[in-house]
């Protein structure tokens, strides 16, 4: 989860988020190199008194500054398109969970089990236990097995919401009358926090998401205790 004064991304928990972090670092390095070159040229123009009369008419220079930006854009576009296709790909999910957004809470339904559904409300600040996080803890967590592809079906019953968990690289809109899907898979166990990322009314800030990733055996025991 995020911590105070954090400047970067949260630690990656899923393969998709790892790819996004690598792409971010790749693009940031390109931007850094371009900015350094431009600042160097500007400082050079401001400090030197030498003038090359044929520079502005050089065909070689014009060719370079036309082709080089095109190559840089290709270096950015190809990894970006690859990640876009990876994020949209759904490969044989083992479990399906339907998520419905409400004003202002989430409801979850495990469609592979009979009558396994619940609502998830934020725990008020006055009822928090020591060590729990304000505005992020919920009364019913979403328990899922780790290292297992899980399909999330996301929709809404009233207004626009957005189901987002940054450490998993997930952000999918919940639209009334429309069913969106995304795939998630965690590479390690733990608690992962998210929030609604679409302004949905006065209590928009008070509908957090908590995903608890556990081993498959623990998940089966949890399901047995509820069904």
Cβ–Cβ < 8 Å for 227, 113: yes
Q: Is residue 149 in a domain?
A: yes
CATH number of 78's domain: 1.10.287.90
pLDDT reported for residue 52: 67
pLDDT at position 210, please? 95
Q: For residue 155, what are the domain limits?
A: 95-226
pLDDT of the residue at 201? 86
- Domain assignment present for 7: no
Residue 189: strand, helix, or coil? coil
Task: Say if residue 52 is exposed, middle or buried (CB neighbours under 10 Å; 0-12, 13-18, 19+).
Answer: exposed
pLDDT score at 92 = 86
Q: Positive or negative, the Cα torsion across 191, 88, 197, 206? A: negative
Among 68, 88, 108, the domain-final residue is 88
Report how far residue 56's alpha carbon sits from residue 115's, in angstroms, rounded to the nearest whole number.
74
Into how many domains does the chain fold?
2
Q: How many CB atoms lie within 10 A of CB 138?
A: 18
- Whether residue 75 is found in the same domain as residue 106: no
Integer angstrom CA distances of residue 208 from 19, 93, 116, 121, 123:
25, 25, 20, 8, 9
Whole-model pTM? 0.83
Residue 198 burial (10 A CB sphere; 0-12, 13-18, 19+): middle
On whether residue 4 sits in a domain, the answer given is no
**69 and 142 belong to one structural domain:** no
pLDDT for 62 equals 81
- Is residue 214 within 8 Å of 189, Cβ to Cβ? yes
Q: What angle do helix axes 15-47 and 59-88 make, rounded to 10 degrees?
A: 160
Q: Cα separations (Å) of 92 from 56, 117, 123?
A: 58, 22, 35
CATH number at residue 136: 2.60.40.420
Mean pLDDT by 10 residues, the chain (227 residues): 81 91 94 94 83 68 87 93 89 91 93 90 91 90 92 93 93 93 91 91 91 93 84
Of 67, 88, 109, which residue constitutes the final position of a domain?
88
Per the structure block, which two tokens stand in for 15? 């393969």
- Look-up: residue for tokens 């050089």? 58
* pLDDT at residue 2, as a whole number: 76
Predicted pLDDT of residue 63: 85
């Amino acid at each position: 989860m995020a911590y105070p004064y954090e400047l970067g991304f949260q630690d990656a928990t899923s393969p998709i988020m790892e790819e996004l972090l690598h792409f971010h670092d790749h693009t940031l390095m390109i931007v850094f190199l371009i900015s350094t070159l431009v600042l160097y040229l500007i400082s050079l123009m401001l400090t030197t008194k030498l003038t090359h009369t044929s520079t502005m008419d050089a065909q070689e220079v014009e060719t370079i500054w036309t082709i080089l930006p095109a190559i840089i854009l290709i270096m950015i576009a190809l990894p970006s398109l690859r990640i876009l296709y990876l994020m949209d790909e759904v490969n044989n999910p083992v479990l399906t969970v339907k998520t419905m957004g409400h004003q202002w809470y989430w409801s979850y339904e495990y469609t592979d089990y009979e009558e396994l559904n619940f609502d998830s409300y934020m725990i008020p600040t006055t009822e928090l236990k020591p060590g729990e996080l304000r505005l992020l803890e919920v009364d019913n967590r979403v328990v899922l097995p780790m290292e297992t592809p899980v399909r999330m079906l996301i929709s809404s019953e009233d207004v626009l919401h957005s189901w987002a968990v940054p450490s998993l690289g997930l952000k999918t809109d919940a639209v009334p009358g429309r069913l969106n899907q995304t795939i998630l898979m965690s590479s390690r166990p733990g608690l992962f926090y998210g929030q609604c990322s679409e302004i949905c009314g006065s209590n928009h800030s008070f509908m957090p998401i908590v995903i608890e990733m556990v081993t498959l055996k623990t998940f089966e025991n949890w399901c047995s205790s509820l069904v």
